Amino acid sequence: MLFSRQLARRPLIRAPRRWTHSPAALAGLKSVTEDDLVHFAHFLPPTSIVSTLSPSAAPSSELESFNNDWMNKYHGRSTTVLKPRTTEEVSKIVKWCNERRIGIVPQGGNTGLVGGSVPIRDELILSLSNMSKIRSFDDVSGILVADAGCVLQSLTDYLAPHNHIVPLDLGAKGSCQIGGNVSTNAGGLRLLRYGSLHGSVLGLEVVLPDGTILDQLTTLRKDNTGYDLKQLFIGAEGTLGIVTGVSILAAPAPQASNNVMLALPKFENVLPLYKETKRQLSEILSAFEFMDRTVYDLAVKHGQGRALNPEDVEGAECFVLVETSGGKREHDEQKLNSLLESLMEADVPLINTGVIATSPAQFSSLWAIREGLTEAVSKEGKAYKYDISVPLYKFQEVVDKTKNHLQEKGLLHEDAVKYVVGYGHVGDGNLHLNVVAAAYTPEIEAALEPFVYELVASYKGSISAEHGIGAMKTHALKYSKNETSIEWMKKIKALFDPNGIMNPGKVLP
Contact residues: ligand MLT, CB under 6 A: 171, 373-374, 385, 387, 432
Report how far residue 208's alpha carbon sits from residue 472's, in angstroms, rounded to the nearest whole number: 24
β-strands 256-264, 353-356 pairing:
antiparallel
- Taking CB under 6 A as the binding criterion, the range among 208-216, 237-245, 286-294, 314-322 that sits at the site for ligand FAD is 237-245
Report how far residue 64's alpha carbon sits from residue 367's, in angstroms, rounded to the nearest whole number: 31
Instruction: Please identify which residue in 76, 84, 116, 504 interacts with ligand FAD, judged by CB under 6 A.
Output: 116
- Min separation Cβ 90 and ligand FAD, Å: 9
Report how far residue 336's alpha carbon sits from residue 330's, in angstroms, rounded to the nearest whole number: 10
DSSP line for 423-466: EEEGGGTEEEEEEEESS--HHHHHHHTTHHHHHHHHTT-BS-SS
Residue nearest to ligand MLT (CB): 374
- Pair 229, 216: CB distance under 8 Å: yes
Share in percent of the chain as helix, strand, coil (round to 5): 35, 20, 40
- Pair 119, 125: CB distance under 8 Å: yes
Report how far residue 84's alpha carbon sits from residue 126's, in angstroms, rounded to the nearest whole number: 8
- Min separation Cβ 366 and ligand FAD, Å: 16
Nearer to ligand FAD, 383 or 406 (CB): 383
Residue 179 touches ligand FAD, criterion: CB under 6 A: yes
Residue 107 touches ligand FAD, criterion: CB under 6 A: yes
Q: Which is nearest to 201 in space by CA: 154, 256, 257, 155?
A: 155
Instruction: Please identify which residue in 418, 467, 473, 493 interacts with ligand FAD, judged by CB under 6 A.
Output: 467
Binding-site partner at residue 238 among ligand MLT, ligand FAD, none, CB < 5 to 8 Å by type: ligand FAD
Residues in the chain, how many? Answer: 509
- Min separation Cβ 186 and ligand MLT, Å: 8
- Min separation Cβ 113 and ligand MLT, Å: 6
Residue 89 touches ligand FAD, criterion: CB under 6 A: no
Binding-site partner at residue 104 among ligand MLT, ligand FAD, none, CB < 5 to 8 Å by type: none
3-state secondary structure of 393: helix
- Pair 388, 398: CB distance under 8 Å: yes
Dihedral class, residue 241 (left if φ above 0, else alpha if ψ from -120 to 50, else beta): left
Binding-site partner at residue 432 among ligand MLT, ligand FAD, none, CB < 5 to 8 Å by type: ligand MLT
Binding-site partner at residue 31 among ligand FAD, ligand MLT, none, CB < 5 to 8 Å by type: none
Nearer to ligand FAD, 167 or 470 (CB): 470
Nearer to ligand FAD, 335 or 467 (CB): 467
Residue 186 touches ligand FAD, criterion: CB under 6 A: yes
Binding-site partner at residue 186 among ligand MLT, ligand FAD, none, CB < 5 to 8 Å by type: ligand FAD
SS3 for 123-142, per residue? CEEEECCCCCCEEEEECCCC
Residue nearest to ligand FAD (CB): 180
- Min separation Cβ 172 and ligand MLT, Å: 8
- Min separation Cβ 111 and ligand FAD, Å: 3
Q: Phi and psi (nearest 5°) for 401?
A: -65, -40
Residues near ligand FAD (CB under 6 A) are 3, 70, 105-113, 116-117, 128, 148, 170-172, 176-177, 179-181, 183-184, 186-188, 237-238, 242-243, 374-375, 466-467, 470, 503, 506
